[in-house]
Amino acid sequence: MQKYDHIPRATIQRLATYMQVLETMKKDNIKITSSEPLATACDVNASQVRKDLAYFGEFGVRGVGYYVDYLLDAIKDCLHANREWRTALIGVGNLGRALLNHQEFNRRGIRIVGAFDCDPFKIGEVAYGLEIFCSKRLQEKVPELGIELGIITTPPERAQRAADQLIEAGVKGILNFSSARIVTPNHVYIEYVDFFHQIYSLTFNISTKN
């Protein structure tokens, strides 16, 4: 379905937001929509929505708009969100446990099938139905469990080691919740979740407007 080799990162992020908005519309039994509500959700104009979708094809019907079910399924196809992604979580502290118990992961096809830690007091414990394995067993467990993605929730000083272990085991996509910046080879994709970035954006905007 993808029409171009390079898709801007911002477009991918907006597509994920469009998907969330369309899911809400579907729950509300809305059958047809336009680019305007999708644009409003992402604080962009309607032409940007049409441009984002045009990277993947033509989805609207002239004079009608977008059929919600069809567009939702199409965006899921674009983002490869219509399948299960088996995932390892590294670092079973407070944040890691919260993510293990977060039902939205399963609902969205992100299935955490392996939990790993280097703390000997945690190894062997069962957390939300998963036995916690030693991180050194990643190379064994990644192929055994069919793991494709890794989530890092370790302290910052252990994040690079966790990433290295995931990469050595063959994982090519990593979501990093630690504050550390991680070095990875070109064939491994990494995304960062840093709550402080959003908080500082809020404090800046509030202070500037005041």
Task: Kindly list the structural domains of the chain, giving each domain's residue range(s) and its CATH number in brackets, ordered by start.
Answer: 9-79 (1.10.10.10), 85-196 (3.40.50.720)
pLDDT at 165 over 90: yes
DSSP label at residue 4: -
Q: pLDDT at residue 210 above 80?
A: no
Tens-place pLDDT, residues 139-163:
999 999 999 999 999 999 999 999 9
Q: How confident is the model at residue 64 (pLDDT cuts 50, 70, 90)?
A: confident
pLDDT band at 204 (very low <50, low <70, confident <90, very high): very high
3-state SS, residue 139: helix
Q: Take residue 91 and report the two structure tokens written for it.
A: 């670092």
65 annotated ligand binder? no
Distance CA 114, CA 112 (A): 6
Is 129 annotated as ligand-binding? no
Determine if residue 91 is labeled as part of a ligand binding site: yes
Q: Give CA–CA dist 153/176, Å, rounded.
A: 7
User: Cβ atoms within 10 A of the Cβ of 53, count?
Assistant: 23
Residues 52 and 78: beta-carbon distance below 8 Å: no
The pLDDT score that the predictor gives to residue 44 is 93
Mean pLDDT within 13-26: 94
Q: What is the mean pLDDT of the chain?
A: 93
173 in a known ligand binding site:
no
pTM of the full structure = 0.89
Q: Is 94 annotated as belonging to a binding site?
A: yes
CA atoms within 13 A on the CB side of 66: 27
φ, ψ of residue 178 to 5 degrees: the values are: -80, 165
Residue 207 has what pLDDT? 92
Rounded mean pLDDT, 179-192? 95
Q: Give start and end residues of each alpha helix (H) in 8-128.
A: 9-27, 35-42, 46-54, 68-79, 94-100, 103-107
